[in-house]
Amino acid sequence: MGDFDYSRKKKKKKGENHRGMASPSKRREMDMMKLMMSDYKVDTINDDLQMFYVTFHGPTDSLYEGGVWKIKVELPEAYPYKSPSVGFVNKIYHPNVDESSGAVCLDVINQTWSPMFDLINVFESFLPQLLLYPNPSDPFNGEAASLLMRDRAAYEKKVKEYCKAYAKPEDIGAPVEVSSDDEDEDDSMSDRGSDTDDNDDIAGKADP
């Protein structure tokens, strides 16, 4: 048998650290690519991979169903070893979200975050869980937390009022979708309007 060359070392792939794991910058790129290839709408700012916006819809069977929010995401230099910070741009009524700034209580993410998670997990797991299961004992919005514990029905009503007032597509700058029924109704109204104009013209003519 030939002698084994112990001087040879396995070369690291570009973007890997000494443990064979992707470096933070490479991991950011990969996670951003996965997020942008998913069903989520992502808006970057000057191709910045550390701060961007994602369109998020309220989870099904929750008080927030039907609402849509623009979420601001900031990735720390140490991502994914440190969790991203997220905040709601348009208003939401929730005990764990600051009403004025939209900031989400970091403990909600930090308590369970690990490098195994990626950005898609934020929008498919962390935020839906936050909206489905608010924690009034650790509030960012003291009024919402107090109302939730004191009067659940009043709390639910206020959540829905905020969704109706602040969480529509136009509130995040998205175009409003017009249903085919609305278009048909507009067309029929236009037809009725033109018929009326024609009748007015006929009625206004003098008899010969």
How confident is residue 46, by pLDDT bands cut at 50, 70 and 90?
confident
Q: Which of 18-27, 74-83, 129-138, 140-149 has the lowest mean pLDDT?
A: 18-27
Given the residues 35, 54, 71, 105, the one annotated as active site: 105
- Quote the distance between the C-alpha of residue 45 and its chain's center: 16
21 pLDDT band, cuts 50/70/90, is: low
Does a structural domain hold residue 192?
no
pLDDT single digits (tens) 168-188: 999 888 665 544 454 454 454
Q: What is the pLDDT of residue 88?
A: 98
Q: Is the pLDDT of residue 96 over 90?
A: yes
Domain that holds residue 31: 24-167
- The neighbouring-strand residues paired with 74 are 51, 85
For residue 157, being part of any structural domain is answered with yes
Residue 145 inside a domain? The answer is: yes
Q: Which residues of 44-64 are buried (b: 16+ CB within 10 A; e: fewer)?
A: eeeeeebebbbbbbbbeeebb
Q: Which two tokens stand for residue 163?
A: 């969704």
Write down the pLDDT at residue 191. 52
Q: Is residue 184 part of a domain?
A: no
Please report whether residue 199 resides in a domain: no
Contacts 24+ apart (CB under 8 A), 200-206: none
What's the mean pLDDT in 8-34?
66
* Domain membership flag for residue 190: no
Residue 24: what pLDDT?
Answer: 77
What's the distance, Cα to Cα, between the start and end of the chain in Å? 121
163 is catalytic: no
When divided into structural domains, the chain yields a total of 1
Residue in 61, 199, 55 with CA at minimum distance from that of residue 129: 61
CATH number at residue 130: 3.10.110.10
Q: What is the pLDDT of residue 138?
A: 86
State mean pLDDT over 100-114: 87
The pTM for the full model equals 0.73
Q: Is residue 43 part of a domain?
A: yes
